[in-house]
A and B are shown apart, each in its own frame.
Chain A
Amino acid sequence: MRRLQHTLIVCIALLFPIQSLAQEGPFNPGDHLPIFSMTAPESAAHRNALGLSAEATTFTLADVDAPAVLIQIFSMYCPICQREAPEMNRLYELLREKGLADQITILGLGAGNSDLEVQVFRERYSVPFPMISDPDYILHQAFHGVGTPYYILAQPTDSAETGHVVRLSHLGAFDSAEIFLEDLLEAKQ
């Protein structure tokens, strides 16, 4: 089934003219994110962090109960993501130390990563925030198939139909959790 999905995606991707990809690339501040559905995490703590009910099986960003979401597109196979994992944990701790935990929720999306791959990455680095698998690159494509790691700070809009609006878009590693947090707070409205 997974193989079939892959084949279908490859076929669909090949139908699109190359220009459609050329116009994309990373998002810019002010862009609206597409609306995409994610599988709800099993862990009660992670559901709680996202403000999801115990019954929810899938969710969208609109369901996330937070004034801002920091999305990290990562991969277990990406050396920068591996090196940066402790800094991301540090960022999570900083938000708590500064009493900003309710202001920015962190959500990891494992581009092309299976459940096991996300689990191995999470356990290896003791990642405290929720991470969602994306084995067939569906979510990754919603983010224009950019390289990893990729960070987006997004905030809800008044209308659920228009999707979250991008406040900060950062491709590649950041320097330090402290400086990145300053950037995030400056970008956030």
Chain B
Amino acid sequence: MRPLHPLKFMVQTTLLIGITWMVFLAGAAFASPSQDFAGQVYQPQHLTPIDSELNVRVGDQAPDFTLPATQGETITLSDFQGQKNVMLSFVPAAWTPVCSDQWPGYNILQDIFDAHETIILGITVDNIPTLHSWIAAMGGLWFPVLSDFWPHGHTAEVYGLLRSDGTTERALIFVDKQGVIRFTHVEDINIRPPLEIVMEGLQALGDPAP
């Protein structure tokens, strides 16, 4: 081993202790949060897989909404009509392990989304400052993240995705350029939806309208 700078050694040791504690606290210890998040991510217990009833169906017009985005502007779903397909990615809350392990993966898929003329809108019930810090910890994202904080979880509620504890389901809703819902998927909150599901949703956008 090469000699370590004392500060670096301290940082590494602290990190290791943090990780050991995370493993200790993790219980089922499923997600493998990237070391970027070591010690920063809250470890909840196993949660009720799905705790709400989806309010929208394939073929429905997607309920419109306007929400503040982390970049400072507001974003309105219907503004994308005629321009882009939209994948709404609802995740339960910032700083939770599976979520911290979901959106960074979409960072390396931008060309796949571009090829399907689709933008991602990430949505959580957290306020903008929390989302800002969380996204910075993820190393940034190429797509906007919207804050459904106030009235709390209102958009999630309209879609039937607000859980009884005020977080949202882990859900993917694919909306085509006409504003019509073409694919929905509500995942077990404890699990990240596999990429196969995302691809299925993107494919559905290319199918003939129902």
Contacts and interface: CB of A to CB of B under 8 A. Distances in A.
Interface of A: 3, 6, 10, 13-14, 18, 21-22, 24-26, 73, 75-83, 111-112, 114, 116-117, 120-121, 124, 135, 137, 140, 144-149, 171-173, 179, 182-183, 186
A78 B32 contact: yes
Interface of B: 1-2, 15-16, 19-20, 22-24, 26-36, 38, 46, 101-102, 104-105, 107-109, 112, 138-139, 188, 190-192, 194-196, 199
9 contacts: A10-B30, A73-B32, A75-B34, A79-B139, A81-B34, A112-B32, A112-B192, A117-B194, A147-B34
B16 A77 contact: no
B192 A79 contact: no
Contact of A78 (B24, B30, B34): B34
Contacts of B109: 120
Nearest to B29: A145
Contacts of A6: 188, 191
Contacts of B16: 26, 171
Nearest to B194: A114
Contact of B101 (A14, A25, A77, A186): A77
B108 A76 contact: yes
Given A14-B28, A120-B109, A121-B108, A77 B34 contact: yes
A149 B101 contact: no
Contact of B19 (A13, A14, A76, A147): A147
B20 A25 contact: yes
Contacts of B104: 77-79, 82
A50 B86 CA distance: 42
Nearest to B15: A172
A77 B32 CA distance: 9
Contacts of B108: 76, 82, 120-121, 124
Contacts of B20: 22, 25
B199 A79 contact: no
A149 B138 CA distance: 15
Given A75-B32, A80-B35, A124-B108, A14 B46 contact: yes
A26 B20 CA distance: 8
